[in-house]
Amino acid sequence: MKRGHFLLIFLVITIFSLVPYTVEPLPIPYPREADVYVPKYWYCQETKGCPNGYMCRDGVWVPSFTTTIPMWIFGVTNKYERGGVLNFREYPDYTCRAHCVESIPVLYTADVIYVPYYGGDYLPEDVPITYLPPGEYIVTSPSFAVYYNVKIWFFPDRGGPKKMSAALETDKEKYGKEDTSVIYTLQVTDEDTKEYIQVDKIFGKIVLPDNTEKTVTTEDWAWNEEEELYVYCWDFLNDEGKCSDPKEGSYSCELTAKKKYYEDARAGVDFAVCYHVEIDLEFDKDIPKYSLGEPVEMTVYVTDENGSPVTIGVESVLVLPNGEVKTDLSWTQTEPGTYSTSYTPVQEGVHHITVGVKENIICYLKEASSEFYVKACEEAHVDLEIIGTTINEPVTFVLTVTDGAGNGLSGGEIESGVYLIDNPPVALSWSDLGNGVYEAVYTPSEVGFYTICGTVIIFEETGCFRGFFDGSFIVEEKKLPDLVIRNEDIRVYSESGEDITENSKLPLGETVTISVTVWNIGDASAENFWVVILIDGNLVYKESVVVLAAGESILIECMWAFNHSGCYTISAAADPPEGII
């Protein structure tokens, strides 16, 4: 038996030794400390006057921190005995010449706890950790001054962090000053599994054209379970609650996403709020119908918001019937704000051209789009009307299609789609109502910014007509009023004005004042409703309210004399069932 026992143990050991040993990419749970280099009696901090938080000492950038091993930062020892944020910035490869004047990008941002000088028993799962690869850094903080005796606490790395990437987008690249919001979407991907994941923290800032900032935090973002991404609707306001002055200009957003045991992921996106222009595109024919080889002469007139000519030039995109795109049309400015070009078509069919002002330091929002036809269909005039923009309720699209004389064109074939950002298009089914009017219905199941576009073609015995249409709309949650009367909102006052609600023993025949407060705790105004007061279930008073705004209240009062002894119950209702009134 002893021999068999020995053989069994030997076999188990042999099997275990053949199993490959894998190392989890996790921190080693043994805290270590390292010093930050700051000259004695010096200190540095990120402030409004020194946003990068560094200083120069004999050409050396300070505070500095160098590590030859990968690590997970979690703590700091400082004179303030508090944690906060540490920013690890790229250490420049040139000599430091002046305090605070350089803009040095942040590579890693670590949330750190305070650790006493003698350390302590800390585990990676119990504290915030941030991966820091080997390198030389400038280490700064907006939370506290970095003195010469500051220590950084870390866990040594074992196997490297998990990797993730982040993609940040806006719903448009260009906005007008009339736009009230920007919809940001942030999608984070696990680089190993390629799955979209949620993170522990999102932070960053939006820089406005006037160099003010909007701080972005995790609380600003909502997780969209279906699309597996984060959504943030920003209202163009900075941290002071103000828009940029002027609102037009370039905006940039830089974000960092953090998740435990992952290396931080950074993402950024830029967009612009553009000036409006009036831009008119004209052809050399009233009806832009041409033959192959016949030059198409086009003229564009451009003025700014004040009616002055825009002279910085125009550019265009011409889409040919086969889908080929031409951007090399040469526009000549014949007089201030007036530009002309000529194009000789080589294909039959519909040509679509879009003309806009050349991008320069500033951008202009409006473009002129039109079509001309080469030995193909005549132009159809298409007007699009969008009715209703509430989630889970029908949105009705109405097209009116006419010829050049205003006659309705029925019997058309329509191809169109409704688009929500990052979603495939939804095809619409159109009904021909006659006399050139067509209708389609779509019920949105998500809030957001939608676009619709399509084509109409009508075939007749003598020829055909073709038209294009597009539009956009924003779907929002339905807003409803919510009228509430609480028990404490019903009060009874004696003839002397004393509140006798809680002790309402009255002499027979005394007249009291019954006071009722009605609240609207909903999201929309309540309109044209009744407030009724009942005693023992019998209606004694009613009053009509024309409107009560959301978040507001209204006081209803009536006089009543109790001519019979007894115990009475007073109740009230806002917008009661029809049978009560």
Identify the pLDDT of residue 460.
66
In three-state secondary structure terms, 387 is: strand
Please say whether the dihedral angle defined by the alpha carbons of residues 121, 122, 126 and 128, taken in this order, is positive or negative: positive
Q: Exposed/middle/buried for 543, CB within 10 Å: 0-12, 13-18, 19+?
A: middle
Per-residue confidence band for 402, with pLDDT thresholds at 50, 70 and 90 = very high
> In terms of pLDDT, which residue wins out, 355 or 359?
355
Residue 304 has pLDDT above 80, yes or no: yes
Per-residue confidence band for 23, with pLDDT thresholds at 50, 70 and 90 = very low
Per-residue confidence band for 523, with pLDDT thresholds at 50, 70 and 90 = confident
Residue 257 has pLDDT above 90, yes or no: yes
Identify the pLDDT of residue 522.
85
pLDDT in tens, 157-216: 988 899 999 999 999 988 988 899 999 999 999 999 999 999 999 999 999 999 999 999
pLDDT in tens, 201-246: 999 999 999 999 999 999 999 999 999 999 999 999 999 999 998 8
pLDDT in tens, 275-303: 888 999 999 988 888 866 678 999 999 99
Per-residue confidence band for 119, with pLDDT thresholds at 50, 70 and 90 = very high
Identify the pLDDT of residue 3.
36
Cβ 326 vs Cβ 344: under 8 Å: no
Least confident window among 43-57, 100-114, 320-334, 495-509: 495-509
Residue 73 has pLDDT above 80, yes or no: yes
Residue 454 has pLDDT above 90, yes or no: yes
Q: Give the Cα separation of 41 and 504 in Å (integer).
A: 75
Average pLDDT over residues 362-369: 82
Identify the pLDDT of residue 477.
86
Residue 21 has pLDDT above 60, yes or no: no
Residue 22 has pLDDT above 80, yes or no: no
Residue 514 has pLDDT above 60, yes or no: yes
Residue 112 has pLDDT above 70, yes or no: yes
Over pLDDT 70: what percentage of the chain?
A: 93
pLDDT in tens, 412-423: 889 999 999 888
Identify the pLDDT of residue 363.
81
pTM (2 d.p.): 0.53
Q: Exposed/middle/buried for 262, CB within 10 Å: 0-12, 13-18, 19+?
A: buried
> What's the whole-number average pLDDT of the chain?
89
Beta bridge partners of 434: 437
Using alpha carbons, list the distances in angstroms from residue 306 to 249, 277, 362, 434, 496.
Answer: 18, 9, 16, 43, 66
Per-residue confidence band for 366, with pLDDT thresholds at 50, 70 and 90 = confident
**Number of helical (H) and strand (E) elements in the chain, helices listed first:** 1, 47
In 3D space, the residue among 289, 331, 288 whose CA is nearest the CA of residue 312 turns out to be 331
Residue 321: half-sphere exposure toward Cβ, Cα within 13 Å: 14
Q: What would the two tokens of residue 155 be?
A: 């866990």
Q: Scan for tokens 């053949």, then name that residue.
A: 18
Cβ 164 vs Cβ 137: under 8 Å: no
Average pLDDT over residues 31-48: 92
DSSP 252-270: EEEEEEE-TTB--EEEEEE
Q: Exposed/middle/buried for 530, CB within 10 Å: 0-12, 13-18, 19+?
A: middle
Identify the pLDDT of residue 422.
86
Residue 576 has pLDDT above 70, yes or no: yes
Helix then strand then coil, % of the chain, to nearest 5: 5, 50, 45
Identify the pLDDT of residue 292.
66
**Domains of the chain in sequence order:** 26-158 (no CATH), 164-274 (2.60.40.1930), 277-376 (2.60.40.1930), 379-475 (2.60.40.10), 483-574 (2.70.50.60)
